[in-house]
Structure 1
Amino acid sequence: MKQVVDMSWIDKMAFETDMDGHKVVIDASEESGGSDLGPRPKKLMLTALAGCTGIDVILILKKMKVVPEAFNVIVEADDTEEHPKHYYKAKIIYQFKGKNLPKDKLEKAIKLSGEKYCGVAAVYKKAMEMETEIRIIE
């Protein structure tokens, strides 16, 4: 299935698109000549990764009848120093809050997302080193 994104230039360094009925604006920082009207494009890559795997993990855990009190996906990524600057390493931290959460099921959900379901992770693995960490807060 083909996906299309049509970005329209607004002003200076800002661009806007409609994604699934939602307006998305990206921009550069003021220091880089933009107006800071939205997030930077490259950082949206990390948001896409966090969202993709986060949705997978929650869907899988719900099927396993495991629902945490709270759940965060934190993505830390390291940039290269030289141009074109790009991420060469990323760490996905899955942070769960809840009592008596079965760690084996959390691990299985994360593994399924990373190895089978998350299309964003599948692409990123080809371009950078990726690792995961699980944090459980009781």
Structure 2
Amino acid sequence: MEATVTWTSGMAFEAEQEGRRIPIDVPGPDGTSRGVRPKGLLLAGLGGCTGMDVVSILEKMRVPFEGLAVEVSADQSEDHPKVFTAIRVTYRFKGRDLPMDKLARAVQLSQEKYCGVSAMLGKTAAITTEIVVEG
């Protein structure tokens, strides 16, 4: 796996990974606010990684659902380097009569066995999860 990050101007960069481009920048006077923040990309990566796991696991369990949104938020240390100290992952499922035990098992398997991003970030920050079912 590889990525190339190229400076474009000011504090702005462009990341390229597998032929896709992602603008990276900072808000405020030093940045142009034309991209996402680097640590935000880490949170998005966690959400995508665990979300893909959960969808795959639920498909194997034959649990139909109408939608899934994974919300990820984090607290950071006060001192530099500002690292994540706590990460919260909320899985918002849409569907009727969803079996909570199977949703919980899919989330647990993702967090404890399959999601490499969770495994990496979990070495520096406590990760907590919540499951919400809508509909």
Name the TM tier (shorter chain).
over 0.9
Q: Which residue of 1 aligns with 2:43?
A: 46
**Aligned pairs (5 A) from 1:1-138:** 3-31=1-29, 33-138=30-135
SS at match of 1:9: strand
| TM-score between both structures, scaled by the size of structure 1 | 0.93
- C-alpha distance in 1 between matches for 2:4 and 2:41: 16
| TM-score between both structures, scaled by the size of structure 2 | 0.95
Unaligned ranges ≥5, structure 1: none
Unaligned ranges ≥5, structure 2: none
* Number of positions where the alignment pairs a residue of Structure 1 with one of Structure 2: 135
Residue 87 of structure 1, CA deviation: 1.0
Q: Percent sequence identity over matched residues? A: 44
AA aligned opposite 2:131: I
- C-alpha distance in 1 between matches for 2:34 and 2:98: 40
How much is the aligned-residue C-alpha RMSD, in angstroms?
1.0
Residue 30 of structure 1, CA deviation: 2.8
- C-alpha distance in 1 between matches for 2:124 and 2:94: 31
Once the two structures are superposed, residues 84-130 of structure 1 have per-residue CA deviations (whole angstroms, 9 ceiling, x without a partner) of 11210011111111110011110111111011110000011111111
